[in-house]
């Protein structure tokens, strides 16, 4: 038993922090965790989970319009934003409770207050109590980075979007990343007028260009307006509560809400890192080695606060690897190669491995196989949208380098396809697999 109050003190009870706390405790460590907001962190409280539920909620609009063609008569259908919002937030409460129970059942002591670092082995709680620990894990995550235009305080971020009093009739979305595309899709499906303001002519940077182009085509067909190479100069609140957005020059646009989604920064301000000699990197992120250790040997960091890959499953793996390394006598690192990811726009897109462009740059000769198809489910869709699946392979070995897709359920299909890529399979393995008919996924084994 060390002379410290705890073996491990975790700051931040999000995905990475909770996993690290739970696994460390199961390895026999005495663990405490501090959370200043709500147990669950970004993913559970104001990210992946409530976002996906809003996506599901908004998709009923299209499903219901298709339903009539399939013989259903639905009288008096209407939509109530407050009901969806409250339903989503009630589920967030439920999950927060489950996360709390998990901590309690592993005898992790929870301090529901802010903790800051006061030394290599000490933290101070907001209530004033000083606590010592052999190891400290920083898992405080990230926070929306708001640009510095005048009137930005009238805009909302993804933190507030889950709590809007009313559904905006018109919504401006600033940014062209994950959050921008996902919420543009949600509010467009719910019937709001949506305009995306993007500073370049590229959205979803890092995803395969052909797939992104298809996403843009579909989104525009559904009525989302994209203003590329455009930036917000200022936002002014009007007497009627609406917002007047100056896009530079003479042009001003009036909307009900402006959602800013221009990236997220590490939430390190005021954490006391300077007192232990930790210097911050880009966007305030904490530099760590492959074992998530900072330059202060007793302090580690995992998840979005480290600016490696800002994805929940990655934070969870980092937290688990930390616990196994420090308390489980099993030092291990996280493999960042070929992480699958998805954007829950409508329809969703997903990708794993190299894009066609990246493959050409790194492998020289590559072959691409593309399937374009109208999903059977869309037979009655007024938009006649076509899905697109793409496989990028090494021209010589036919080893799969990347799989990219857009279409209904693309993330569900890609998760499994990612196993094939991770296993180093060639396209032949797909060719040899009999199609499961009729499905959308069969397109992946029928690529010519
Ligand atoms: P992203 O990094 O995905 O995108 C940021 C967008 O904002 C880019 O289009 C960027 O343009 C633009 N931008 C950046 N700075 C400015 C600025 N000052 N003015 C105008 N535009 C700007 O960030 P998000 O906020 O969408 O999401 C944050 C992170 O959260 C993501 O990186 C992702 O890892 C995670 N996330 C994951 C989801 C998922 O897995 N489905 C869902 C939601 C979030 P440019 O490309 O030119 O730099």
Q: Cβ(300)–Cβ(135) under 8 Å?
A: yes
Active-site position among 37, 106, 383, 437:
437
Single pTM value for the model: 0.97
Q: pLDDT means per 10 residues in the chain (448 residues)?
A: 91 98 98 97 97 97 88 94 98 97 97 98 98 98 96 98 98 98 98 98 98 98 96 97 92 96 96 96 95 98 95 98 98 97 98 98 95 87 86 97 97 98 97 97 97
Residue 288: predicted pLDDT? 97
To test the ligand 1 pocket, which listed residue (179, 204, 308) has its Cβ within 8 A of the most ligand atoms?
A: 179
Separation CA 314–CA 337 (nearest Å) = 11
Q: Give the residue from 338, 196, 333 showing the smallest Cα distance to 259.
A: 196
Q: What's residue 1's pLDDT?
A: 56
**Residue 313 Cβ contacting ligand 1 at under 6 Å:** no
Task: Take atom 48 of ligand 1 and give the residue whose Cα is closest.
Answer: 205
Q: Does domain 152-262 have CATH number 3.50.50.60?
A: yes
Domain limits, the chain: 6-144+265-326, 152-262, 347-445
Among 338, 332, 265, which residue's Cα sits nearest to residue 304? 265
User: Cα(343) to centroid of ligand 1, in Å?
Assistant: 11
Q: Is 310 in the pocket of ligand 1 (CB under 6 A)?
A: yes
Ligand 1 centroid vs 262 CA: distance in angstroms?
Answer: 5
- Whether 154 sits among the annotated catalytic residues: the reply is no
The superfamily (CATH) of domain 347-445 is: FAD/NAD-linked reductase, C-terminal dimerisation domain (3.30.390.30)
Q: Which atom of ligand 1 is nearest to the CA of 261?
A: 25
Q: Does residue 407 line the site of ligand 1, with CB under 6 A? A: no
- How remote is the CA of residue 425 from the centroid of ligand 1, in Å? 32
Radius of gyration for the alpha carbons in the chain, expressed in angstroms and rounded: 24
Q: Assign domain 6-144+265-326 to its CATH superfamily.
A: FAD/NAD(P)-binding domain (3.50.50.60)
Nearest to 85 by CA among 146, 24, 168: 168
**How far is it, in rounded angstroms, from Cα 84 to Cα 71?**
26
Ligand 1 atom with the smallest distance to the CA of 205 is: 46
User: CB of 283 closer than 6 A to ligand 1?
Assistant: no
Domains 6-144+265-326 and 347-445 share a fold: no
């Amino acid at each position: 038993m060390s002379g410290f109050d705890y073996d491990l003190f975790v700051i931040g009870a999000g995905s990475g922090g909770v996993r690290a706390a739970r696994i460390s405790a199961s390895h026999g460590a005495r663990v405490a965790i501090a959370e200043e907001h709500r147990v669950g962190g970004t993913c559970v409280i104001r990210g992946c989970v409530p976002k996906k539920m809003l996506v599901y909620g908004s998709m009923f609009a299209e499903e219901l319009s298709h339903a009539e063609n399939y013989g259903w008569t639905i009288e008096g259908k209407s939509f109530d934003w407050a009901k969806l919002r409250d339903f989503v937030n009630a589920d967030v409460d439920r999950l927060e409770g489950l996360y709390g129970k998990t901590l309690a059942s592993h005898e992790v002591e929870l301090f529901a207050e802010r903790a800051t670092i006061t030394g290599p082995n000490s933290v101070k709680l907001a209530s004033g109590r000083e606590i010592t620990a052999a190891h400290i894990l920083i898992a405080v995550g990230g926070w929306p980075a708001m640009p510095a235009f005048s009137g930005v305080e009238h805009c909302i971020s993804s933190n507030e979007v889950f709590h809007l009093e009313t559904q905006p009739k018109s919504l401006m979305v600033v940014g062209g990343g994950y959050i921008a595309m996902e919420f543009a899709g949600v509010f467009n499906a719910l019937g709001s007028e949506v305009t995306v303001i993007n500073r370049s002519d590229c959205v979803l940077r890092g995803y395969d260009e052909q797939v992104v182009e298809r996403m843009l085509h579909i989104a525009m067909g559904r009525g989302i307006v994209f203003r590329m190479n455009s930036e917000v100069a200022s936002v002014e609140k009007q007497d009627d509560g609406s917002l007047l957005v100056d896009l530079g020059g003479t042009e001003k646009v009036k909307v009900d809400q402006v959602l800013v989604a221009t990236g997220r920064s590490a939430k390190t301000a005021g954490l006391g890192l300077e007192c232990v000699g930790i210097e911050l990197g880009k966007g305030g992120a904490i530099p760590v080695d492959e074992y998530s250790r900072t330059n202060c040997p007793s302090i580690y960091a995992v998840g979005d606060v480290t600016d490696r890959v800002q994805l929940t499953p990655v934070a969870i793996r980092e937290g688990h690897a930390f616990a196994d390394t420090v308390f489980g006598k099993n030092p291990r690192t996280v493999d960042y190669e070929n992480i699958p990811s998805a954007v829950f726009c409508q329809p969703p897109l997903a990708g794993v491995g190299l894009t066609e462009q990246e493959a050409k740059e790194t492998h020289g000769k590559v072959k691409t196989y593309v399937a374009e198809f109208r999903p059977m489910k869309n037979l009655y869709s007024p938009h006649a949208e076509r899905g697109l699946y793409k496989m990028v392979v090494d021209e010589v070995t036919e080893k799969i380098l990347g799989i990219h897709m857009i279409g209904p359920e693309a993330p569900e299909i890609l998760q499994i396809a990612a196993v094939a890529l991770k296993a180093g399979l060639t396209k032949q393995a797909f060719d040899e697999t009999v199609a499961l008919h009729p499905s959308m996924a069969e397109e992946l084994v029928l690529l010519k």
